[in-house]
Amino acid sequence: MTRNGKNESGDTGSFGRRLLLAVDAKGYGGADTVRQHQFQEAIARLLELAADAAGLDRKAWLTQEGGDSLFAVLPEGASEPALVDAFMRSLYASLRAFNLDRVPDARLRLRAAVHFGETSPGANGFAGRAPVEIGRIRDCAALRAALDQLPEAPLAVGLSATVFRDVVQGKAYTTVQENEFREVPVKEKEYRGAAWIWLPGADVRQVDLSPAVLEGEPRYANPVRSKVKVNNVQGRAVAVRAEGAVGNPIEAIADIGRVARDGEVIGVDLRAAGDNQ
């Protein structure tokens, strides 16, 4: 781990409850070497700018860093509202400026998580429940889905239940409104919990967070949709009829009035090619 770029040895006997930040870049592994260097430099610089804008002492952070990621333990007394509000708003603005005129694959887009909990330095990073929990929130399916589905959003933020309740819910500590957040389940590896996600500059309610998306099932951009309205069915009414298998999901809505005694309503009729019956 490092403090302001200097190595710090772990002390397994220490204990503290601290404000935590975790950040990770989308698409870093698929970037070429030049772009990875650009992303690494930008992440370090933009986080420092955001810390300065929020009045947070970046030099006092204990950090564990990867090429595209950072985990930080902020010093005792660091402001939770400042990290949630001013820091994230500054980071969002800086990301927008960095990405201006860049092609989509060259844009830097981040997932960030904020938590408050018990942690202690270890021999190879940090120990405790809180570092594990914030990592699961940062990597949760909901934050990933948000960036996947809203390509113009440069930042997706997840708050732990602790931080949301203490800083946002029913409070006036930040300029971020409670209704700008959305509660989501977090099911990553062994962890089961909840988080509240926020997309600065975007509406989080636009994100499809159905169970199929959160559980990793394919999300189809073009499902087969059909809406049929029939007032009086004398024979057979079919909402969707297809020859052979259909690759995308089928969504059929049938608004049926009266069905005669010999009438029949079929939602989906899949037939083998050449079957005219």
Distance, in Å, from the CA atom of 10 to the CA atom of 212, rounded to the nearest integer, reads 42
Pairing, β 250-259 against β 224-233: parallel
Q: Are residues 134 and 267 in the same domain?
A: no
Say what the alpha-carbon torsion angle 178, 181, 187, 188 is, to the nearest 10 degrees. Answer: -110
Among candidate residues 192, 214, 236, the one where a domain is terminated: 214
Which parts of the chain have pLDDT scores under 50?
Answer: 5-7, 9-13, 221, 272-274, 276-277
Q: Is residue 178 included in any domain, yes or no?
A: yes
Q: Are residues 53 and 95 in the same domain?
A: yes
Query: Tell me, what's the pLDDT at 6?
Result: 45
State the total domains in the chain: 2
Q: Is residue 276 included in any domain, yes or no?
A: no
Nearest to 20 by CA among 131, 111, 124: 131
Q: Are residues 151 and 123 in the same domain?
A: yes
Q: Is residue 17 included in any domain, yes or no?
A: yes
Query: Tell me, what's the pLDDT at 189?
Result: 82
Q: Is residue 277 included in any domain, yes or no?
A: no
Query: Tell me, what's the pLDDT at 242?
Result: 59
Query: Tell me, what's the pLDDT at 148?
Result: 95
Residue 9 is part of which domain span? 2-214
Q: Is residue 49 included in any domain, yes or no?
A: yes
Query: Tell me, what's the pLDDT at 1?
Result: 56
Q: Are residues 37 and 160 in the same domain?
A: yes
Q: Are residues 139 and 179 in the same domain?
A: yes
Q: Are residues 161 and 250 in the same domain?
A: no
Whether 136 contacts 145, CB under 8 Å = no
